[in-house]
Chains A and B, each alone.
Chain A
């Protein structure tokens, strides 16, 4: 079988290289019976946000499914974890197995088979600002902040911060000209949109609730395979998880990314104070409850399972 795999991430990202390795493993394990062609950078023109539309209907056989893209079509999946749901990298690692279970249950109803998962690197969200240093919520309240999702707007609004969503393609110019003064962004990926060119200071605020990517297979394509080939794909996908579910270098990578940004002229300030970070997490927790309630369906139950896993 010749399969297409839609990957919206740019080719240069380490995730994309993981997917290339996955395709190579599948070809080897199935002895060439299943060939997966990975298309990077969204070059098939399929939108990440539409994945529960095109994948079950079989526009392509595989695609990267990420719950954060699904706030419109599958709000229950999106509400499993929101930004600020976890207070530390350790907490995130704790809930990863439970998240995978929930995804597998929920995606079955959409006609998507999770062949396996790919972990995000541990990301730390910092507040990047231009002009003046910002490292307290009080400072931030006098600024216009760019965020990337609806739940972040809710959370920052609760904290009295004027937050707005600015699209990825408009962010650079928006910061350059001052439409927004600050942006929430992980230092690890800041270079991808040249953030250091349009901001001067950064300060760490919270750990990103980086839910894993699902290596999704269209249910129809999955059923057409032999048991042996299915097992081979699962094995290759498990290897992706093993390779990516490793966090020893996380702190080192973060520090290296920060050092690189400093080299390029950006100043990394002290993190936000413990009180400020606690206030953020508290606001986020309230947003999470509201969002799960609003999404309805299984969403409140999923949130409860997350809380149980967190021991809260």
Chain B
């Protein structure tokens, strides 16, 4: 039986989106490595030069946030999330199949909602050029990752919902 057009479209989309998600996840891994390097350098500076970096705490927080938003689309695309499957396993196969589609829809709604909420939140920081308190790092470039990540994650939920294998 030929696949429905929607599924074929989703597979097509997946081929296109996967490298983007992988590239972002790779960037996330770079952010993770940067945390290690930064902490190492900071501890060394405190003990060797008696001049600790003042921005370590803020930058580590931002890098960690960035790493999460960068890797989330790939984690979603590869279905690596923690799930509750008890109810699903108890349902008859056909109903479970429908429910899985619903779950993807819920996932899309969550991401779309958070995306929607993040727009005024981002504008607040962008319009006022808000900076971190100690290191005076401009915040909006970091904050922009949230809406971008939500769009891609919603797309990943949609692909997984359409291609259920």
Chain A residues within 8 Å of B, Cβ to Cβ? 53, 71-73, 75, 144, 149-150, 153, 162, 164-165, 167, 294
Contacts and interface: CB of A to CB of B under 8 A. Distances in A.
A144 B46 CA distance: 8
B133 to A, nearest CB: 4
Given A72-B130, A165-B57, A294-B136, 5 more contacts: A71-B133, A75-B131, A150-B133, A164-B52, A167-B57
Contacts of B54: 150, 153, 164-165
B132 interface: yes
A149 B54 CA distance: 10
B50 A72 contact: no
B86 interface: no
B124 to A, nearest CB: 7
Nearest to B136: A294
B50 A162 contact: yes
**Interface SS, A side:** mixed
A72 B133 contact: yes
Interface in B93-137: 121, 124, 128, 130-134, 136
B50 A144 contact: yes
Contacts of A150: 54, 133-134
Nearest to A165: B134
A53 B124 contact: yes
A164 B54 CA distance: 6
Given A53-B124, A144-B46, A167-B57, A162 B51 contact: yes
10 contacts: A73-B128, A75-B131, A144-B52, A149-B133, A150-B54, A162-B46, A162-B51, A164-B46, A164-B52, A164-B54
Contacts of A149: 133
Contact of A72 (B52, B121, B131): B131
B134 to A, nearest CB: 4
A153 B130 CA distance: 20
A71 B136 CA distance: 10
B57 A72 contact: no
A53 B128 CA distance: 13
In the complex, the 3 A-B pairs of residues with the closest C-beta atoms, listed nearest first: A71-B133, A150-B134, A164-B52
Given A53-B124, A165-B57, A73 B130 contact: yes
Given A53-B124, A162-B51, A164-B54, A153 B46 contact: no
Contacts of B52: 144, 162, 164
A29 to B, nearest CB: 35
Interface string B137-164: 0010000000000000000000000000
Contacts of B50: 144, 162
Given A144-B46, A162-B51, A72 B124 contact: no
A72 B54 CA distance: 15
Interface string B11-47: 0000000000000000000000000000000000010
